Amino acid sequence: MAFKQISSPHGHNPQSTSWIMQLVLLSTLPGFLALSYQFGWGTFINLIIAVVTSLIAESAILALRNRPIAFYLKDYSAAVTAVLLALALPPLVPWWVVVVGSLFSIVVAKQLYGGIGYNPFNPAMVGYVVLLISFPIEMTSWVTPMSLLPEGVTHPGLWESLSIVFAGNTPVDGVTGATPLDLFKHSNGLVVDQIYQNEALFSQASFAGVGWEWVNVGFLIGGLILLKTRIFTWHGPLAMLGTLALMSILFWDGGSSDSPGSPIMHLFSGASMMGAFFILTDPVSSAVSNRGRLIYGALIGLLVYVIRAWGNYPDAMAFAVLLANFAAPFIDNYTLPRTYGHTDRRKATKKQEEE
Amino acid sequence: MSRTWETPGGVHPPENKSQSMTQSIGHLPIPGTLVIPLHQHIGSPSKIDVTIGQTVLKGQTLTTATHSNNLPVHASTSGTVISIDDQPVAHPSGLNAPCVTIASDGRDQWIEHVGITDFRRCGPLDLLQIITDAGIAGMGGAGFPSAIKLSPSKDKAIDTLIINATECEPYITADDAAMREKAQDLIQGIEVVCHILNDPKRVVIGIEDNKPQAIKALRPYIQESSIEIVPFPTKYPSGGEKQLIYILTGREVPSGGLPIDLGMVCLNIGTLIAIKRAVIDGEPLISRITTVTGGACGVNRNYEVLIGTPISHLLTHNEFDEKNCSRLIMGGPMMGFSLTSTDVPVVKTTNCILAPGHSEIPADTPAQACIRCGLCAEACPVSLLPQQLFWYAQAKDQERLEAHNLFDCIECGACSYVCPSNIPLVQHYRSSKGEIRKANIDKIDADNARQRFEFRKLRLEQADEQRQAKREARRLVTEQARATSNTSQPGSSAADIIAAAQQRVITKQASPEQQKAKCERALLAAQSRLQEAEKRLIEATTNGSKQQQTICSASVESARQKVDQTQYRLRELTD
């Protein structure tokens, strides 16, 4: 009998790309639950619209590109992009906002660059930034956290939420409000203590900001699960959170009216934890080596703080990640690990003749 | 307890070693025919000593080494040489290679051989010659001639002997079994090598901690010696020579270098036992311990197998179920290569025959896209970036591949093993390495051709220049001559020049007789010219113009003068 000629290694560990993607999806669950608990049905509706749009868009483009559709859909990468975008969008945002964002993420940011593995920028963040620039009003009105809703007002139920999202009905007064980062952006010369006293978002908070602190804790839990299952290494997230904390300590300014906020507030507000564990860990668009990821993460942490503190936007994760995506190949060039038997690191562009 | 160092990366595939360790090392009936490849080592091939039809005894040499880097092979049993031709052999290329086929006579009759009872009285060079003559090549996988490894180097003294008892590949237990059952042979082999190396400072057996029984078996023999046993945590690929050296010493073999550069030499368990047999028993390397294992084999066991035994012989004695076999592998699952036929023989480097079942090692699933997750970089034992190498391998960017240290890849397969997208990374690297090697050879060829061409061009140019220079020199000489004749030198008159010319003429004239003869000829010519001129003058006076008459009378006059001059000169000469 003739046996097949097969190259070594024979055998493989059971982990697959689909499984990694599914694990990422599962790990967003604590964050998703926290978002839904704090802000109502909006996130769930976002999620459904984004996933459906993304899968349709992915299939259509794969068909146009003559690629096997089922084979690529099974890698779950389109679903991950859709979920991450949906979780980043404000709840109860009109349906077409989600559709436009999903389409842009999948079609332009992912498939036009060659599909999975070839996108230089994080697709979800490209979609998010396009929406933020194009529809600033829709993108900046966040729902009020549950415990801060006025007397007698509750989050809209599923049907009411659907009518807000699809029929354009306006939610009841008091359902939308500011986020902690918004408050610091528009502090109107108040010192930090005054903000903390005046604003229920802070005065009723456990440690950072009502609602948002638990959303961030949710994403932190999900991130730690992924870290434990070794889906990614600690380098990127830790560098990002560390730099963000360091910057907010350096510029804490004793809580004066110029202070951009405390380290705890920065770490547990906005997209900090989601960004650290679910966005900048996207391997395709990040730096490749561990040392590279340290620099890449730190760069994102720095940019997030700089834009939050001195830029025009209250939060900056998407911009920071995209800017760092630009820098990733450059970082890679200088951060090759030292290989066994070599005395020093090499540069990726080093030529034989130069040595 | 000696300190150990931890290598980066590494993987923990299921060990699957226990199934072949349930029984002791077995022996198989002698196969009817043995196919012995003539080239089982790294180095040049050796010369064939036998002819078809010749009877050979067990241990008789079939080839002789003709160069220091080649090794002889021996008959593994007694019998008759029935063919010397190309046969399928165990090689990743799947190509055939020259082999001697022996039909065994079943008597298994040894050739006369004697061992050395006290090897300590032999010089290292004599022992190395014995090792070479016994055909011993590294039995761990590469098959490098052991005597060359152990030969004294003029640059570097060997102060550390490392015995590689790691056996980190899943399934393989050949060395483990050897250590348990042949511990004494192993220790004697180590002693022989220590003697050859003039007692190195450190002798260390590096072993993974998944072989406690082997460690226990060795302990009693090393009580009173300086041999250390250093167990370290099980992790693939700790048994790579470079990895083991780092684990045991914390030092790295320089890129492109050899352990000898650090004053170290690394030997495998099987090799040391073969050295003991060669030196102390006088037996050449004609058998080895091979693990026969995998779900498609009913019996999983280690055997002392004669070199040249067809794989099919091993399989039939192990209840091999062909239908349940997903692939046939020589070596382990991580670095072994697949065999396309069961006809190939066991060679000196065959440590394992793995016949896994379909569920054990299923067929490869199609590769998905690389998402650069970096699991491969986490697994790489030499700190490469496999995902980047893959990227550049696909782009055929050889410059970047070399900048990313492609040639430091030991092809251990850890990256492919963990790749969630099932990309056959190692295959890409092997192919890229081949392409780069080929490109380098092509480049050398092209450089040679260019050099030849440039040399030829230079040669032609030089010849041309030489011609030009000659021409120029000639031109200068003539110009100079012209210049000397044109410019009147100070103090010289026309009379001097004429005198000088006459002098030259005189020196040119060889003898008075010749001058006289010449003068006589000149007189005759002048007289005939005078007659001609007078004839023309008569014609001109009768029917010519006035001008013609003048010209003709002038030429008559000059001809007459010439005749007079010549007559005068002739008289001078005759006087």
Rounded Cα distance between B110 and A122, Å, is 72
B385 vs A336: CB contact, 8 Å cut-off?
A: yes
Task: Report pLDDT digits (tens) over A220-232.
Answer: 999 999 999 988 9
Closest by CA to A267, choosing from A221, A228, A217, A230, is: A217
Give the mean model confidence (pLDDT) for residues B334-358: 91
B373 vs A283: CB contact, 8 Å cut-off?
A: yes
Q: How many CA atoms lie within 13 A of A20 on its CB side?
A: 27
B333 vs A10: CB contact, 8 Å cut-off?
A: yes
- Higher-confidence residue: B268 or B550? B268
pLDDT greater than 90 at residue A152: no
Rounded Cα distance between B357 and A43, Å, is 48
The overall average pLDDT reported for chain A is: 89
Alpha carbon separation from B494 to B192, B489, B536 (Å, rounded): 106, 11, 36
pLDDT greater than 80 at residue B494: no
B34 three-class SS: strand
B403 vs A346: CB contact, 8 Å cut-off?
A: yes
Rounded Cα distance between B124 and B126, Å, is 5
B420 vs A16: CB contact, 8 Å cut-off?
A: yes
Alpha carbon separation from B378 to B318, B372, B419, B514 (Å, rounded): 39, 12, 11, 109
Please tell me the distance in Å from B192's CA to the nearest CA on chain A: 31
Q: B237: cis peptide before it, omega within 30°?
A: yes
Alpha carbon separation from A294 to A55, B239, B383 (Å, rounded): 33, 31, 17
Confidence at residue A172, expressed as pLDDT on a 0 to 100 scale: 76
Range list of H helices, chain A: 17-27, 29-39, 42-64, 69-73, 77-88, 95-103, 123-134, 136-140, 158-167, 180-185, 192-198, 200-203, 212-228, 235-250, 263-267, 272-274, 290-310, 317-334
A337 vs B335: CB contact, 8 Å cut-off?
A: no
Confidence at residue B277, expressed as pLDDT on a 0 to 100 scale: 93
pLDDT greater than 50 at residue B79: yes
Which A residues in the span 305-334 are in contact with B, Cβ-Cβ below 8 Å?
A: 332
Phi-psi region for residue B418, left (φ > 0), alpha (ψ -120 to 50) or beta?
alpha
Residues of A in contact with B374 (CB under 8 A): 232-233, 283, 288
B47-48 vs B63-64, strand pairing mode: antiparallel
Rounded Cα distance between A148 and A25, Å, is 29
Task: Give residue for tokens 């090393």.
Answer: B222
Task: Please answer whether residues B420 and A13 qualify as being in contact, where contact means their C-beta atoms are separated by less than 8 angstroms.
Answer: no
DSSP state of B332: -
Closest chain B CA to residue A75 = B368
A232 vs B336: CB contact, 8 Å cut-off?
A: no
Q: Is the pTM of this model over 0.95?
A: no
pLDDT greater than 90 at residue A207: no
Rounded Cα distance between B266 and B97, Å, is 29
Confidence at residue B490, expressed as pLDDT on a 0 to 100 scale: 52
Please tell me the distance in Å from A289's CA to the nearest CA on chain B: 7
pLDDT band for position B49 (50/70/90)? Answer: confident
Confidence at residue A209, expressed as pLDDT on a 0 to 100 scale: 82
Please tell me the distance in Å from A320's CA to the nearest CA on chain B: 21
Task: Report pLDDT digits (tens) over B108-152.
Answer: 899 988 888 888 888 888 899 999 999 998 887 778 888 888 887
pLDDT band for position B552 (50/70/90)? Answer: confident
Percent helix, strand and coil across chain B, each rounded to 5? 45, 15, 40
B242 vs A5: CB contact, 8 Å cut-off?
A: no
Task: Please answer whether residues B171 and B16 qualify as being in contact, where contact means their C-beta atoms are separated by less than 8 angstroms.
Answer: yes
CB pairs below 8 Å between A and B: how many?
179
Residues of A in contact with B436 (CB under 8 A): none
Confidence at residue A280, expressed as pLDDT on a 0 to 100 scale: 93
Confidence at residue A7, expressed as pLDDT on a 0 to 100 scale: 85
Task: Report pLDDT digits (tens) over B239-280.
Answer: 999 999 999 999 999 998 889 889 999 999 999 999 999 999
pLDDT greater than 90 at residue B153: no
- Higher-confidence residue: B562 or A354? B562
**Residue A108 contacts by C-beta under 8 Å, 6 or more apart in sequence?**
A126
Query: What is the share, in percent, of chain B residues with pLDDT greater than 70?
Result: 97
Token pair listed for B242: 């470079």
Please tell me the distance in Å from A273's CA to the nearest CA on chain B: 20
How far is CA A115 from its chain centroid? 20
A4 vs B340: CB contact, 8 Å cut-off?
A: yes
**Residue A165 contacts by C-beta under 8 Å, 6 or more apart in sequence?**
A42, A45, A49, A92, A93, A94, A95
Closest by CA to B382, choosing from B205, B233, B246, is: B246
B26-27 vs B337-339, strand pairing mode: unpaired
Task: Report pLDDT digits (tens) over A24-58.
Answer: 999 999 999 999 999 989 999 999 999 999 999 99
Confidence at residue B410, expressed as pLDDT on a 0 to 100 scale: 92
Closest by CA to B404, choosing from A170, A346, A341, is: A346
Q: B152: cis peptide before it, omega within 30°?
A: no
pLDDT greater than 90 at residue B487: no
A130 three-class SS: helix
B405 vs A346: CB contact, 8 Å cut-off?
A: yes
- Higher-confidence residue: A251 or B69? A251
B94 vs A77: CB contact, 8 Å cut-off?
A: no
Decide if A17 touches B, using CB distance below 8 A: yes
A342 vs B255: CB contact, 8 Å cut-off?
A: yes
Alpha carbon separation from B562 to A157, A311, B555, B559 (Å, rounded): 147, 122, 10, 5
Closest by CA to A36, choosing from A178, A123, A143, A183, is: A143
Confidence at residue A355, expressed as pLDDT on a 0 to 100 scale: 44
Residues of B in contact with A336 (CB under 8 A): 385, 403-404
Angle at A82 (CA atoms; ends A81, A83), nearest 5 degrees: 95
Least CB–CB distance from A8: residue in B246, B342, B413: B413
Please tell me the distance in Å from B349's CA to the nearest CA on chain A: 17
**Residue A292 contacts by C-beta under 8 Å, 6 or more apart in sequence?**
A328, A331, A332, A335
pLDDT band for position A353 (50/70/90)? Answer: low
Least confident of A95-109, B124-138, B407-421, B498-512: B498-512
Task: Report pLDDT digits (tens) over B367-425.
Answer: 888 998 889 999 999 999 999 999 999 999 988 898 899 999 999 999 999 999 999 99
B160 three-class SS: strand
Please tell me the distance in Å from A255's CA to the nearest CA on chain B: 41
Q: What is the dihedral of CA A283, A288, A289, A290, to 10 degrees?
A: -30
pLDDT greater than 80 at residue B544: no
Query: Which one-letter amino acid corresponds to residue B439?
Result: A
A349 vs B400: CB contact, 8 Å cut-off?
A: yes
Q: How many CA atoms lie within 13 A of A10 on its CB side?
A: 30
- Higher-confidence residue: A214 or A202? A214
pLDDT band for position B233 (50/70/90)? Answer: very high
Least CB–CB distance from B418: residue in A8, A15, A115: A15
- How crowded is residue B388: how many other Cβ atoms within 10 Å of its Cβ? 22
Closest by CA to B325, choosing from B358, B364, B284, B374, is: B358
At residue B232, what are phi and psi to the nearest 5 degrees? -145, 160
- Higher-confidence residue: B416 or B535? B416
Give the mean model confidence (pLDDT) for residues B534-552: 81
Least CB–CB distance from A340: residue in B337, B354, B408: B408
Give the mean model confidence (pLDDT) for residues B532-549: 81
Alpha carbon separation from B232 to B6, B166, B172, B556 (Å, rounded): 9, 9, 18, 129
